[in-house]
Structure 1
Amino acid sequence: MKQKIKRLSAFQIADITLVTILSVLILAPVLNIFSSSFASTRALAEGNFIFFPKEVTLDNYSAVFHDSTIWHAYFISVSKTILGVITHVFFCSMVAFGLSKRDLRFRNVYTVMGVITLFFSGGMIPTYLLMKKLGLLNNFLVYILPQLFSYYDVVILMNFFRQIPGSLEESASIDGAGVWRVFLQIAMPLSKPALATIALFNGVYQWNDFMTAKLYMTDTTLYPVQMKLYEIIVQQQAASMNTIGNVALQTTSKGIQLATIVVTTVPILIIYPLLQKHFVSGMMLGAVKE
Structure 2
Amino acid sequence: MKSKTFGSRFADICIWMVLLLLTALCFLPLLNMVSISFSDKSAAQANLVGLLPVHFNTNAYQLLLKDTQFWRSFLISIERVAIGTAINLMITVLMAFPLSKNKNDFRARNIYMNLMIFAMLFSGGMIPIFMVVKNLGLIDSIWALVLPGAVPIFNVILLMNFFKSVPEALEEAAIIDGASKMRVLFGIFLPISLPALATIGLFSMVGHWNDYFSGLLYMNSSSNYPLQTYIQQLSVDITKITDPSQLKSLASVSNKTLNAAKIVVSIIPVLLVYPFLQRYFVSGLVIGSVKE
TM-score w.r.t. structure 2 length?
0.89
Number of corresponding residues: 281
| Aligned-pair CA distance for 1:160 | 1.2
In 2, Cα distance between equivalents of 1:150 and 1:35: 37
**Alpha carbons of 1:127 and 1:249: their partners in 2 closer, same or farther (altered >3 Å)?**
closer
* 2:219 corresponding residue in structure 1: 217
- Post-superposition Cα deviations, 1:193-247, rounded to whole Å, max 9, x if no partner, equal 000000001100100111101001012332111122223222325569xxxxxxx
What is the SS of the residue equivalent to 1:146?
coil
Gaps of 5+ in 1: 241-247
Alignment of 1:160-199 (within 5 A): 160-199=162-201
Name the CA shift for 1:95/1:289 in 2 (closer, same or farther; >3 Å). Answer: closer
Counterpart residue number, 1:245 = none
Show the counterpart of 1:244.
Answer: none
Q: Residue 132 of structure 2 aligns with which residue?
A: 130
Given that 1:236 and 1:252 are in contact with CA atoms closer than 8 Å, whether structure 2 keeps it comes out as no
Counterpart residue number, 2:161: 159
More displaced stretch, 125-134 vs 76-85:
125-134
Report the equivalent of 1:30: 30
Superposition deviation, residue 23 in structure 1: 1.9
Q: Which runs of 5+ in 2 are unaligned?
A: 243-249
Distance 1:289 1:122 in 2: 30
Counterpart position of 2:246: none
- Decide which of 266, 269, 276 is 2:268's aligned counterpart: 266
1:229 aligns with 2:250: no
1:283 aligns with 2:272: no
Match in the other structure for 1:41: 41
**Whole-Å Cα distance in 2 between the matches of residues 175 and 221 of structure 1?**
54
Q: Distance in 2 between matches of 1:289 and 1:85?
A: 26
Secondary structure of 2:68's match? coil
Measured in 1, the distance between the counterparts of 2:290 and 2:213 equals 38
Q: TM-score, normalised by structure 1?
A: 0.89
Q: 1:202 corresponds to which residue?
A: 204
1:1-150 maps to which residues of 2 (within 5 A)?
Answer: 7-8=7-8, 11-102=11-102, 103-150=105-152
Q: Rate the CA distance shift 1:278–1:262 in 2: closer, same or farther, 3 A.
A: same
- CA change 1:271–1:45 in 2 (3 A) is same
Quick one: distance in 2 between partners of 1:282 and 1:150? 16
**Does the Cα contact within 8 Å between 1:160 and 1:286 map onto a contact in 2?**
yes
Contact 1:93 1:157 in 2 (8 A): yes
Other structure's SS at 2:278 match = helix
Looking at structure 1, the residues matched to 129 and 198 of structure 2 have their Cα atoms a distance apart, in angstroms, of: 29
**Partner Cα separation in structure 2 for residue 60 and residue 24 of structure 1:** 26
Task: Give a deviation string over 1:88-111, Cα, whole Å, max 9, x none.
Answer: 011011101010111201211111
Report the RMSD for the aligned CA atoms in angstroms.
2.3
Aligned 8 A contact 1:97 1:161 in 2: yes
- Whole-Å Cα distance in 1 between the matches of residues 269 and 131 of structure 2? 33
Secondary structure at 1:51's aligned position in 2? coil
For 1:27 and 1:85, the matched residues in 2 are separated by 28
Query: Per the alignment, in what secondary structure is the counterpart of residue 250 of structure 1?
Result: coil
1:18 positional shift? 2.9
| Structure 1 residues 288 and 97: alpha-carbon distance in aligned structure 2, compared to 1, 3 A threshold | closer
Q: Distance in 2 between matches of 1:255 and 1:288?
A: 44
User: Relative to 1, partners in 2 of residues 1:157 and 1:289: Cα closer, same or farther, differing over 3 Å?
Assistant: closer
The 8 Å contact of residues 193 and 278 in structure 1, kept in 2 or not, is answered as yes
Once the two structures are TM-superposed, the CA of residue 43 in structure 1 deviates from its matched residue by 1.4
Secondary structure of the structure 1 residue equivalent to 2:237: helix
- Percentage identity across paired residues of the two chains: 35
Q: Residue 289 and residue 84 in structure 1: after superposition, are their counterparts in 2 closer, same or farther (change >3 A)?
A: closer
Q: Take 2:273 and 2:180, find their aligned partners in 1: how far apart are those partners?
A: 35
Q: Measured at CA, do residues 97 and 260 of structure 1 come closer, stay the same or move farther in structure 2, by a change above 3 Å?
A: same
Distance 1:79 1:26, change over 3 A: same
